[in-house]
Amino acid sequence: MWRGAISFGMVAIPVRMYLATESKGVSFRLLCPRDGAPLRNKRWCPVEDREVGWNDAVRGFEVAKDEYVQVDDEDLDNLPLSTTHTIDILEFCDDSEIDAGVYVKGAYYLEPEPVGVKPYQLLRKALAKTGKVAVGKVAMREREQLCRLALHERAILLNTLHWPDEIRDAGELSLPDAEGDVHAKELAMAVMLIENLAARFDPARHRDQYREAVVSLVEAKLANQPPERAPAPAIAQVTDLMAALKASVEASRRPQADQAEEDSQPRVTVAGRRRQADQAEEDSQPRVAVAGRRRRAS
């Protein structure tokens, strides 16, 4: 999605940039309620009363009400900034100094061009030996971005960062006093609960159950079967904080062996139960996946 070079002192490292993540969320199309046809968003010119094609539309920077200056791709490519084609490293720091919770935005892999393999490896080894991360700037997606360069497995990972003035002040919130009215026994019980639930972070243990539930819902509708409904949640009314903490600690003490055994059991989804019940019928007919139906419909 971007080609340029890492500027490392007097060293230039030609690289290509690739997205390191992809969205796996659920997406819906807006449909007409009467005939179910997908709705289209049109770029409509109110002066000429006509639709404008995507390739015909141009960018405009608003300088006053209803007054715009047109800017095209060539204008942006020729901005007098080194960062339009260069990741300009400004400094190196300890990674702990970057508050990732609020600063980090996107994640991108940097791949060296063939002529940049040796300086790429040099930068990787230098980062590993010093334990530092690089802070720099890069211009892409019509804006200059603050960025962080760090090691990730065999690659160099670039994270775009928020600018300081983009981060809102938490002091604007109505927050409780830092000391607060917390009893020592309650704090000890809360610490015990955290320790019982402590584990090394392994993202493979977690899955997007919302997306799975939506796919099961779609499959049920395709098969004209009633979807599985979640039971109505009980309204929690905690009147005794200590009692709730004790109950939580007891529930968290289940042996790890039981948890491992549960995790090893095959998960049977709504769609899985239907497939088991109708296995004979499905084996005799071609199966149509949701994705397959979507491709034919489009």
Q: Answer yes or no: is 154 within a domain.
A: yes
Q: Please, which residues have CB within 8 angstroms of residue 241's CB and are 6 or more apart in sequence? A: 186
Could you give the angle at the alpha carbon of 56 between the alpha carbons of 55 and 59, nearest 5°? 95
pLDDT value, residue 287: 41
Q: Answer yes or no: is 7 within a domain.
A: yes
Q: Answer yes or no: is 242 within a domain.
A: no
Residue 229 has pLDDT above 50, yes or no: yes
pLDDT value, residue 109: 97
- The pTM score is 0.69
Q: Answer yes or no: is 108 within a domain.
A: yes
Residue 23 has pLDDT above 90, yes or no: no
pLDDT value, residue 154: 93
pLDDT value, residue 290: 46
Q: pLDDT band at 292, cuts 50/70/90?
A: very low
pLDDT value, residue 118: 93
Domain extent at residue 121: 2-22+77-166
Per the model's pLDDT, the better-predicted residue between 182 and 137 turns out to be 137
Q: Answer yes or no: is 135 within a domain.
A: yes
- Yes or no: say if 58 and 70 are a contact pair by the CB < 8 Å rule: yes
Q: Could you tell me where the DSSP H helices lie in 223-288?
A: 241-251, 256-264, 270-277, 279-283
Q: pLDDT band at 262, cuts 50/70/90?
A: low
Per the model's pLDDT, the better-predicted residue between 2 and 209 turns out to be 2
Q: Answer yes or no: is 82 within a domain.
A: yes
**Which CATH number is 83's domain given?**
2.40.290.10
Q: Answer yes or no: is 274 within a domain.
A: no
Give the 3-state secondary structure of 54-113: HHHCCEEEEEECCEEEEECHHHHHCCCCHHHCEEEEEEEEEHHHCCHHHHEEEEEEEEEC
pLDDT value, residue 273: 43
- Over residues 138-156, the pLDDT tens digits come to 988 778 899 999 999 999 9
Q: Answer yes or no: is 156 within a domain.
A: yes
pLDDT value, residue 94: 95
Q: pLDDT band at 164, cuts 50/70/90?
A: very high
Contacts from 245-252 at CB under 8 Å and sequence distance 24+?
245/186, 245/189, 245/190, 245/193, 246/189, 248/193, 249/189, 249/192, 249/193, 249/196, 252/193, 252/196, 252/197
pLDDT value, residue 236: 57
Domain count of the fold of the chain: 1
pLDDT value, residue 278: 47
- Yes or no: say if 163 and 138 are a contact pair by the CB < 8 Å rule: no
Q: Exposed, middle or buried: residue 104 (CB in 10 Å: 0-12, 13-18, 19+)?
A: middle
Average pLDDT of the residues of the chain = 81
Of 36-50, 94-108, 190-204, 260-274, which one has max mean pLDDT?
A: 94-108
3-state DSSP assignment of residue 1: coil
- A 10 A CB-CB count for 55 gives 5
pLDDT value, residue 107: 95
The whole-angstrom separation of Cα 268 and Cα 258 is: 18
Question: What residue has token string 């090394």?
Answer: 200
Residue 120 has pLDDT above 60, yes or no: yes
Q: Please give the single-letter amino acid code of residue 170.
A: A
- Over residues 58-79, the pLDDT tens digits come to 989 898 898 999 888 888 777 7
